[in-house]
Amino acid sequence: FKWQNPEVSWLEGLWARGDRRLSHLLIAAYNKGCKFDGWSDQFNYPAWEAAMAETGVDPDFFTVRKRDVNEPLPWDHIDNRVDKTFLSQEWENALEGKFTADCRLEDCNQCGVCDFEEIDVRTYQAFKKELTRDSGVGLGKDAPFKKLNVYYSKLDQAKYFGHLELVNIFLRALKRAKIPAKYSQGFHPKPKISFDDPLPIGIESHQEYFTLAVADFVKPDAVVHGLNTHLPEGLHIHDCRLAPLKARDHTAKSSVYQISISGYDFDTDKLASFVNSSEVTITLTNRKGKLKKIDLKDMVVNIELSDSKHLLMTLKSEPGKTVRPGEVLRHVFDLTEQEIKQARVVKLKAESTAYRAERMGQGAKR
């Protein structure tokens, strides 16, 4: 059995059967702090009661009131082709215990979905798929493998992919390209792949990377071509290099960003004031909600204008100490949150000691 707070179930019923008349209730509850009600420690039932009293919403009207069969429903304006008369008849059949035959096997039930021109019922016979040599999940436990550092760009609409979405996109592309990857052991084997620090949603990048373990015979060029064939627009693999089997510090030590805001000219006086300051202390909040003070000047390696509308900045990254471009815009140019959201932020490059070594030819050849 699954236990759930009855007040949560009651509230779910209210929203499941409610309509647009509850929009004012939603806003009122939000203003009273109701934001994460799916978490038991955040659910605030008295706040919902206060919001209902404030907006005059009678919850019983939506939850326990018996509805007439001919009464308009909140979702009636959505046409899913199923005739409402058919649903009413099905309701009566259910009350009488009558059986409705499967229209795939017997006569049409006149539900309204099929017009027998563009939409019709088709049946298919199930078939067994023969197992092949590449039907498994990857390399065997003792099969020789190597690690590759795969470098890619994330531009245009791809900037809206979250990190978990991005991981799944690459995993699907890996499978579709039939690249023999090395998998973890256990009941739920997964490809051995690790990504760099997640890029915030909304930021584009010309240089991101992940490390992938593949069969020893796989060529880097084959990985580049195979993945690019199956990646969506905005994601593109542009380089693939042999990586050491033992983990090496590949965390970016500095990242270069180009920033522009449509219709906005960056204030040169504010920029000069920041550049000439010896120290600019700001307070950030980490994921655990703790406040942390850092010197912004220490994290900004370089900041300059290529012209009045384009800003270039190089930000330093240290373990447990990272500053996002938005924080620089907020504290240097006094931009509002809305102005920061309108900015186009493009990560031009990110370098670590390991990546610089590879570019200089000290890494293994393709």
- CATH topology agreement for domains 145-243 and 254-355: yes
Which of 90, 83, 156, 137 lies closest to 114, judged by CA?
A: 83
pLDDT digits (tens, 9 = 90+) for 219-252: 999 999 999 999 999 999 999 999 887 765 555 5
* Dihedral sign, Cα of residue 300, residue 302, residue 304, residue 310: negative
Architecture of domain 145-243: 2-Layer Sandwich (3.30)
pLDDT digits (tens, 9 = 90+) for 40-91: 889 999 999 999 999 999 999 999 998 888 888 888 889 999 999 999 999 9
> Amino acid identity, residue 84?
K
Q: Which residues pair with 304 in a beta bridge?
A: 312
State the average pLDDT over residues 289-307.
Answer: 90
Q: Report the C-alpha gap between 323 and 291 in whole angstroms.
A: 14
Q: Which residues pair with 241 in a beta bridge?
A: 149
Contacts of 318 (CB under 8 A, 6+ apart): none
Domains of the chain, by residue range, sit at 6-63, 79-128, 145-243, 254-355
Encoded tokens for 168: 């799944």
DSSP H stretches of helix in 238-324: 268-276, 296-299
Question: What would the CATH number be for the domain defined by 254-355?
Answer: 3.30.70
> SS3 breakdown of the chain: % helix, strand, coil, rounded to 5?
30, 20, 45
Q: Is the pLDDT of residue 204 over 50?
A: yes
pTM of structure: 0.61
Instruction: Specify the range with the lowest mean pLDDT, choosing from 168-177, 215-224, 346-355.
Output: 346-355
> DSSP letters of 259-271?
EE-TT----HHHH
Pairwise pLDDT comparison (284 vs 267), residue with the higher score? 267
Parallel/antiparallel/unpaired status of strands 310-316 and 281-285: unpaired
Q: Report the C-alpha gap between 325 and 347 in whole angstroms.
A: 10
DSSP H stretches of helix in the chain: 6-17, 23-31, 45-55, 59-63, 84-96, 163-176, 220-230, 268-276, 296-299, 325-333, 337-342, 353-359
Q: What is the pLDDT of residue 351?
A: 73
Question: Hey, which of 53-67, 287-301, 313-327 has the most confident mean pLDDT?
Answer: 53-67
Q: What is the pLDDT of residue 135?
A: 45
Q: What is the pLDDT of residue 196?
A: 85
